[in-house]
Amino acid sequence: MSRLLELGFRRADLDLLADGDVPGRVVLSSRGLCRVATDSGESLAALTGTLRASGEAPAAGDLVALDRGGTVVTRLLPRRGVLARRAAGGSGGVQVVAANVDVVFVVAALGAPLNARRLERALTLAWNANAEPVLVLTKSDLCGDVDAALDEAVAVAPGTPVRAVAATDDAGAARAALVPHLGAGRTGVLLGPSGVGKSTLVNALLGEERQAVNDVRASDGKGRHTTTERELFVLPGGAGLLLDTPGVRELGLVATEESLERAFADVEELAVSCRFRDCRHEAEPGCAVRTAVEDGALDGARVASRARLAREIERSDALRQHPASYVERRRWRSFMRRR
């Protein structure tokens, strides 16, 4: 039982199991096979035909029921804390990045200027997963002014914990910064582009070289894809679990309006004082948000970013609900612009 609780099971999850079910957690999922951690260790497991036909493939972090032999995944247990993004290709589909997540470590490197717009997008995804976001700034040893970088990060992520680490130089400091956000049975996922040091953080928290790392390109500070699969690691000493993910260039937004509001809590706090409840912060009279921008108390680029993300969420919802008609409208508008 204690092993299952360390793997992230809760007693409510165990109550969902039937007689003969073997509880497990997906460590890695690829091409119809899963590596699953159970009370007795890790092993490979296939999927039942029914599960394969359903199109609901297990994701890293999923809690599953296996057959008595522990070699076949028979069903997925209900997910909580799902970190997801819009699938590539414009289909409107959703790609599950990690399941049953408690903490999202949004990772950015201080060796290059912070991309505020990307961070806002990642934080929105984290809030949408009903997880605790933590902004992790790696490679602090390469930054000439860490304090200024921290101030910039705090402005992008108001109310979110911000941690600066240099994992290659001091693994103990990296553990001290991240482990307090985890704990026995709690799962964190690393989210960020290639080259920011996610795999280095995994190695630091594991206390051993489990993940391969590569240098970034000197020309632009960008990295190559070192991690190619989403993989879950159990941290030593009951410190929790950590899920490493491949770097992604684009974070297609899958989110609710509520998660967007939480990511832009400073804007929402000002919006309460706007004259109109449905104020769009554009040309309406009595707009407290626009006044704050004019007074220099709020970054106008941040307000514009929130508006863009809100439109993207609206388009994404429309595409998922009516994919054929939405694609046809876009095709027709493109045709008319060319005339």
CA distance 32 to 45: 9
Select from 73, 5, 7, 70 the least CA-distant residue to 34. Answer: 73
CB under 8 Å to 84, separation ≥6 — which residues?
94, 95, 96, 97, 125, 128, 129, 254
Which range (31-35, 145-149, 177-181, 248-252) has the least confidence?
248-252
Q: Is the model's pLDDT at 323 over the cut of 80?
A: no
Q: What pLDDT does 337 receive?
A: 58
CA distance 313 to 235: 35
CATH architecture of the domain formed by 83-244: 3-Layer(aba) Sandwich (3.40)
pTM for this structure? 0.87
Residue 71 CB coordination number (10 Å): 13
**CA nearest to 317, candidates 259, 255, 251, 252:** 255
Per the CATH hierarchy, to which homologous superfamily does domain 2-76 belong? Nucleic acid-binding proteins (2.40.50.140)
The percent of residues in the chain predicted with pLDDT above 90, rounded, is 61
Q: Render pLDDT for 82-100 as a digit per residue (tens, 0 to 9).
A: 999 887 655 567 889 999 9
pLDDT at res. 137: 94
Beta strands 33-38; 22-30: pairing state:
antiparallel
- Residues 253-279 pLDDT 10s: 889 999 999 999 999 999 999 999 889
Domain map (residue ranges) of the chain: 2-76, 83-244, 257-338
* Beta-bridge partners for 34: 29, 45
Rounded Cα distance between 287 and 265, Å, is 16
Residue 225: pLDDT band with limits 50, 70, 90:
very low
- What's the pLDDT score for residue 88? 67
Predicted local distance difference test score (pLDDT) of residue 168: 63
Q: Write out the CATH class of domain 257-338.
A: mainly alpha
Instruction: Note whether 290 and 271 are within 8 A (CB).
Output: no
218 or 70, higher pLDDT? 70
